[in-house]
Chains A and B, each alone.
Chain A
């Protein structure tokens, strides 16, 4: 474990990605402690350009955009983490069940996975969101997680199937270990790096999904997320008003977060998967 972390620290991609993410998280944790104002408070005229008072100007309601951005990033990261955790867990359980148990269970679950890979998760996301009358950011995160597990399930299944008949697993079976114990100690450690990478990708795609769904006007209520800031900018025609500060910073925030997560993933991939090192 310490050995692999040692190797990871030498990968520039992994370092850039993780340092950027950590800085981002620190910023959104600390800034609300310094500036304790309510992000929804109106404090200026609409679409004021950035000045010494308001670093990123004001939005259509005259609210401080920098403060909104900080809270937006916080919500988006949280939604991404919850959605990613949820999707990875479901994918892991289904993938392990398919790969290890095999047979009938495998056939049914694989068929289900394949079907949900083909039905666009974006559509299911819209349908569920439309049907819910009240959506907190936690609920939105759960829905995203519930619709994005098939990828992980498929990958975990493939890995588990190839591990199932290895010698060390057979020895554990002959020694009379229970199935949960075999899965926990003989299978999971071998796919752990893979699962962590899948989790990171799921977080990134969760953040993107939240942004898309909020952009459509189906985002969480009573909160600010990066997608919601973009939605406001579009609904109140900020681009036409020339108010670039109302959407460019939010856009870049999304891009920087997902970019740093992709970097972490690529860095890890190159370490754990030596064949693709260029």
Chain B
């Protein structure tokens, strides 16, 4: 077995274990609500319902889905079985719509918004941070505090300020939603333009905050590398500046890749709240609605989906990292 396969298998094992813990957390926590969760929930859902038959039907349905009369281990088994078959339960708020159905309609919006925004923000932030460290002087003196300030603003705060300034005061962009509300989603130029127009503002607000954080990290790493011995040595050897800059960039970049893996959870969380501000039809907005209506199955579906995605993203980055970083390769060789 070669070293990389070993690395891959070990990582996969750890991630499977982490996944199991995430599943257990997701399963356990809503069940810690005091008393019988189903009756608590059913009484909340059926508030305003007068027909005793339909109340009973709601109650029975959730009783079956939760299986609270069985031991905890059996409940977990049922939970896993349902998960594998793609059944996340029935929504309380939008009864009798299926949670998996709601999430499926929201995923394309969230992925279409966050994936490009986080990637663009990450790349721009790294380039800016490296330039700030290399150029120093005025550029660094201005960029660094600005980046630090933008990074201190919570994601959604910047989003609200942009919404107020650009959408409401100047009316350059629409106020929210994924497309014009009078439109029916279909494949036409008008619809696509409308989607792009609604996409711009949330996209920009995520990109801006991401740039801030990444630029700070990259600047710090680059300064650290610039002060190291190999840079001084290369300069003494008379190697061209652009070449040295390339070495520095390469070395400073690697921790930034790990940084992306580690901060992706925070970024996704922040972007979800960004969606709420723009009432973008993604997972974040559904989560907000679900929390307001105490729609436990939908909340749990959203959190599970987010946890899974973040785990998957992390796993992918670590696997790629194992290929890219020569130091990890060397460590693999030593182990053999």
Contact = CB atoms under 8 A, between A and B. Distances in A.
Given A217-B288, A230-B156, A251-B157, A120 B140 contact: no
B306 to A, nearest CB: 6
Q: Which applies to chain A's interface (DSSP): helix, strand, loop or mixed?
A: helix
Interface in A206-258: 208, 211-212, 215-218, 230, 233-234, 239-240, 242, 244, 247-248, 251, 254-256, 258
Given A124-B25, A212-B273, A234 B314 contact: no
A278 interface: yes
A240 B29 contact: no
Q: Which one of A117, A123, A275 has the greatest number of beta carbons of chain B within 10 Å?
A: A123
Contact of B303 (A117, A123, A133, A258): A123
Interface stretch (B108-116, B234-242, B262-270): B262-270
Given A131-B33, A211-B157, 18 more contacts: A111-B14, A118-B15, A118-B314, A119-B21, A122-B266, A126-B299, A127-B29, A130-B299, A133-B34, A212-B155, A212-B156, A215-B276, A230-B157, A239-B175, A255-B157, A258-B153, A261-B152, A262-B148
A262 B21 CA distance: 33
Interface string A249-278: 001001110110111001000000001111
Interface in A37-63: none
B26 interface: yes
B185 interface: no
Closest 5 A-B residue pairs measured CB to CB?
A120-B265, A122-B269, A258-B152, A259-B152, A251-B157
B307 A266 contact: no
Contact of A263 (B29, B148, B154, B160): B148
B223 A216 contact: no
Given A118-B18, A234-B160, A123 B175 contact: no
Contacts of B95: none
A121 interface: yes
B287 interface: yes
A276 B223 contact: yes
Interface of B: 14-15, 17-18, 21-22, 25-26, 29-34, 133, 136, 140, 148-149, 151-157, 160-161, 163-164, 168-169, 175, 220, 223-224, 227, 262, 265-266, 268-270, 273, 276-277, 287-288, 291-292, 294, 296, 299-300, 303, 306-307, 310-311, 314
Contacts of A131: 29-33
25 contacts: A114-B18, A119-B22, A119-B25, A119-B311, A123-B22, A123-B269, A126-B287, A126-B303, A127-B25, A127-B303, A130-B29, A204-B152, A211-B154, A218-B291, A234-B276, A239-B160, A239-B175, A242-B168, A247-B164, A248-B161, A255-B157, A262-B151, A263-B148, A275-B224, A276-B223
Nearest to A261: B152
Nearest to A205: B266
B30 A127 contact: yes
A117 B265 CA distance: 9
Contacts of A191: none
B25 A259 contact: no
Contact of B156 (A118, A121, A215, A244): A215
A216 B276 contact: yes
A101 interface: no
Given A127-B25, A276-B223, A212 B152 contact: no
Contact of B30 (A114, A130, A215, A254): A130
A105 interface: no
B83 to A, nearest CB: 16
A12 to B, nearest CB: 11
A19 interface: no
A239 B25 contact: no
Nearest to A250: B157
A278 B223 CA distance: 7
Contact of A275 (B227, B266, B303, B310): B227
Nearest to A211: B154
Contacts of B292: 217
Contacts of B157: 211, 230, 251, 254-255
A212 B154 contact: yes
Contacts of A122: 265-266, 268-269
Nearest to A127: B29
B33 A120 contact: no
A278 B136 contact: yes
Contact of B18 (A119, A255, A262): A119
A255 B152 contact: yes
B21 to A, nearest CB: 6
A251 B310 contact: no
Given A117-B262, A126-B303, A216 B291 contact: yes
Contacts of B169: 242
A130 B26 CA distance: 11
Contact of A120 (B15, B156, B223, B269): B269
B120 to A, nearest CB: 21
Given A115-B18, A119-B21, A127-B30, A278 B140 contact: yes
